[in-house]
Chains A and B, each alone.
Chain A
Amino acid sequence: MAIKLRTLASSNTPGGISIGEKFRDMSWLLVLLVTAIAGIGFAMLYSAANASVDPWMSRQLVRFCGGLVIMFVVALIDIRFWMRHAYAIYLAAFVLLVYVEFAGEVGMGAQRWIDLKFFQLQPSEIMKVSMVLALARYFHSLDFDRIGRPLPLIPPLAMILAPAGLVLVQPDLGTAGMLILVGGALFFAAGVRIWKFALAAAAALAAIPIAWQFLRDYQRNRVLTFLDPESDPLGAGYHILQSKIAFGSGGVFGKGFLMGTQSHLSFLPERQTDFIFTMLAEEFGLFGGLCLLGLYALVFVYGYAIAFKARNHFGRLLAIGITTNLFVYVFINAAMVMGLIPVVGIPMPLISYGGTAMITVLIGIGLLMSVHIHRDVRIGQRGYGED
């Protein structure tokens, strides 16, 4: 807290901005978009509980309000603070990840969370934001000339693969994939040569048979089911099939709020978490689904605009990283529930019921806004203003 106070007070330092100015400069349209998306989530959680605020909507509302406060605080904190402490945050998240590997709560066949009694902390969610921070700092500090050489790429590669590997053994295939995709996007944005991506892709393809050996049975089943979902409609393919039925039967304008038969009659699994987008598509149809995707698209555009306006490389990379992270959430979840990719446990950001994801997404948005507020701040290679 002491750190925060000192940082918030940076308005006194030369080149700083007052809190009032920062507040006025806040991206209120972004706040509105985020609130609108979360509002859709509340409506869907209300419907998922068969027209009841309990047990999901009420708690989600509380988390969102708490998350919003955290988001504002994060946004107001000076961007240089985040850069200075990027590695420390990353390290803390990594330690939590290692901890959860050995002492975490087991749920649905995977070690994933730490039970904090009032809150189930999922370190893998925190890692998603922390990794973006750490990578943004690394590439910010890296000389532009050196980015073409292979050796400087080893530390950031380790920053991606170490947590991805830990998450993979949890085993959480979806989050591991997300970390690699977001990290890869940052490598790309930072200017790593394209042929290196081709090389990595080739290496990944070659590694598939080896990776297959390490997959758990249920993960293999998910992949196999994805390849042929109709083969076992009452077994592992049940979820995908029921989700597709919900989508298809929703049609163009849906069955109406609270009227989704697939979800209300429990044919849809996990309708309050991973399959909430399916429920939206069933009750509001193609129209409702496209509206939500449209709102997300606006958030992405906003993120890109912030990235382009930022005058420091850290901010630019952070904005792109955060936006890509959000995009990957949305894409994997939506593609998964529509049967485009195998079933993985990735929630729909701001919509799915779940505490850690909600808070970390809001922290991410906070960072995005911090980049926006501090867009004109020039940062040196170690994060102490312009050298």
Chain B
Amino acid sequence: MQQNQQAHLRLFTRRTALLGGLKLALLGTLAGRMYYLQVVDADKYATLAEENRISVRLLAPLRGRITDRFGYTLATNDQNYRVVIIPEQTDDLEQTLRMLSLILPLSESDIARVLRDAEKKRAFVPITVRENLVWEDVARVEINTPDLPGITIEVEQRRNYPYGGLAAHVLGYVAAVAEADLTDDPLLELPGFRIGKTGVERQYDVSLRGSAGTSHVEVNAIGRVIRELQRKEGEPGQDIALTIDMGLQHFAQQRLAGELSAMAVVLDVVNGEVMAMASTPAFDPTLFDRGLTTAEWQQLVNDPLHPLTNKTISGQYAPGSTFKMMVTLAALASGIGPSHTVYCPGHMSLGTSRFHCWKKGGHGTLDMLRGLQHSCDVYFYDIARRAGIDAIAEMSRRFGLGVPTGIDLPGEKPGVVPDRNWKLGATGEPWQPGETLVAGIGQGFILTTPLQLALMAARIGNGGMGIVPHIRREAVFRPGDQPGAAPAGATSIGVAPEHMLIVQEGMNLVSNDPRGTAYRSRIEQPGMELAGKTGTAQVRRITAAERASGVIANEDLPWERRDHALFVAYAPVASPRYACSVIVQHGGGGSRFAAPIARDILIETQLRDPASRVPAPRIAAVGPR
């Protein structure tokens, strides 16, 4: 028994020692595992812990302002004050909202919406109670915050256009980022971030946008911010100064306001600065930042007058008789002299077709200057036929027609200046001789934008310098700078000076000779006289039968079938500085409906004379003059 017990004890001791050894080994395994995690792989896990803990939040930079050439603010940022409530910071959400409604009017639906949102979102996510608070409301809420647990005021930046729709097409608008707008800029993924969608806002979006700041915050596992660890403010967006003179823009927009759909562009013929660029109807860009309802958006998009479109660069119209300067210059370049005469019996026959002059009885015998002055169609049929379509097209492109002008605005259309190759490519059919005659009076395939016509007038006015229209001032001028100096890059478009003089004189006669087609819209103030050219572009075909029974007057036609009224001009005649184009869509005759508008705009332009005034040295934060 004793022996048995001894053996039993020995076995127990041996087995227990084995067990103890096993335990020791297992404890060693634990220690080894700890060493591996906490020493060998410590760096890796430290990084992971930091990534867990630290969340980098982007801070939206302040968007740059847009000003006119004199520093008046055209687009800026407003503060939108919002009352928000953080549900977890109040014991009784509804009670707190009722308390708030005593000092800030809240509708029942507001309260219901907040309560609904609170159920859906995590308790630490702020819910907007009301926005667009006036300062008095903000102050009242701030004073009462001790009695309003969970209530705070938040500030958000909103885009504001102090002039409303006055330069809407130039400025464009900002709106929420669409899927297609995403680039690698992380700012674009920020909720509520706005980017430029059209106009200058879009063209210079990257400059205006600035760069994001960052805020490193400590977050817990469910994303609640515990505290801010580090903050780096972003770079605010760059301010953009435009060439626009807001006073002139205002005038032009007002002057067009009487028309259903009209455009006007004013250029500096020396350096290509766009002084005014107006298009009616317009829209209020401020609405887009607030967000449009679907109905409002549909209404704007489906409006046949295209209020959202900048028709000065995106609308394409037949230039009509304003194209005759191009035909003239093409003829001169192909060796036809200014003394070349044509007899106008009121029409011209080519093959079996008969081409009519606008004047039924005809003009009789005319030379080149008289042809321009009277805008005789037969004279231009003749010289167009002699010069040929390719020469006309080549000359037109030198003046900026049929090609994008290169203006720094998005959405510019190139227009159409047809030639033989173009027609073959576009329609697959060869050019017909009759089409040259039609092109000679600016009809047919040819299409131009109002900006192109203004550029054409400017390049005639400046004697053939290849200026490029632009909307952003190259640099903000400093006091003492010479205003209006020509940009160094501009080169001649290569038209003989004596030919330019002939065309300039022709345009002078149009406006300042009593027999000129625009004499009634001349500028009488000495030293401000304009040289212009009328244009009336048909948008329908006049049949032989209609011609026989008498052409239907514009007033008797539905609006959309009436002629476009056009006028291009530069002023002053003696030393051209400003060029202007006006198109009144379906307005009727150019001399009656477009020329007076252009005259008024050019008078105002010269009175203001923005090109000669030194722009404000610094961007001024004052209202319009």
Contacts and interface: CB of A to CB of B under 8 A. Distances in A.
Contacts of A244: 37, 45
Contact of A262 (B12, B38, B52): B52
B220 A266 contact: yes
Contacts of A289: 34, 38
Interface in B16-43: 16, 18-20, 23, 26-27, 29-31, 33-35, 37-39, 41-42
A293 B31 contact: yes
B22 to A, nearest CB: 9
B79 interface: no
A326 to B, nearest CB: 10
A304 B16 contact: yes
A324 B42 contact: no
Interface in A262-305: 262, 264-267, 281, 285-286, 289-290, 293, 297, 300, 304
Counting chain B CB atoms within 10 Å of each CB, the highest count among A264, A267, A308 belongs to A267
Contacts of B49: 245-246, 248-249, 261-262
A340 interface: yes
A331 B26 contact: yes
B221 A338 contact: no
B218 A265 contact: yes
Contacts of B106: none
A291 B37 CA distance: 16
Given A144-B8, A248-B45, A308-B16, A331 B30 contact: yes
B7 interface: yes
Interface stretch (A61-69, A167-175, A183-191, A213-221): A183-191
A290 B31 contact: yes
Contact of B12 (A189, A245, A324, A327): A189
Contacts of A267: 52-53, 220-221
A252 B8 contact: no
What interface size band does chain A fall in?
35 or more
Contacts of B30: 293, 331, 334-335, 338, 340
Contact of B33 (A144, A145, A340): A340
Interface string A300-316: 10001001100001001
Counting chain B CB atoms within 10 Å of each CB, the highest count among A185, A249, A316 belongs to A249
A251 B41 CA distance: 9
A240 to B, nearest CB: 12
Interface string B516-531: 0000000000000000
Contact of A144 (B5, B19, B41, B220): B5
A340 B33 CA distance: 8
A251 B50 CA distance: 13
A264 B227 CA distance: 13
B13 A308 contact: yes
Contact of B45 (A249, A293, A308): A249
A320 interface: yes
A329 interface: no
A194 B34 CA distance: 32
A189 B38 contact: no
A370 B220 CA distance: 48
B222 A252 contact: no
Interface in B189-238: 218-222, 226
B11 interface: yes
B46 interface: yes
A318 to B, nearest CB: 12
Given A265-B219, A266-B220, A293-B27, A251 B15 contact: no
Contacts of A335: 29-30, 33
B48 interface: yes
Contacts of A320: 16, 19
Contacts of A281: 34, 38
Contacts of B44: 248
A242 B52 CA distance: 9
A247 interface: yes
Contact of A340 (B23, B29, B222): B29
Nearest to A324: B19
Contacts of A349: none
Interface string A215-243: 00000000000000000000000000010
A250 interface: yes
Enumerate the 4 nearest inter-chain pairs by beta-carbon distance, A residue then B residue, closest first: A248-B45, A249-B49, A265-B220, A266-B221
29 contacts: A144-B4, A144-B7, A189-B16, A190-B15, A245-B48, A248-B37, A249-B45, A249-B50, A251-B38, A251-B39, A251-B42, A252-B38, A261-B49, A262-B53, A264-B220, A265-B220, A265-B226, A267-B53, A300-B20, A300-B23, A307-B16, A308-B13, A313-B8, A316-B12, A320-B19, A327-B26, A335-B29, A338-B33, A340-B30
Given A249-B50, A316-B12, A331-B30, 11 more contacts: A144-B7, A190-B12, A244-B45, A245-B49, A246-B45, A248-B46, A250-B42, A265-B53, A266-B220, A316-B16, A324-B23
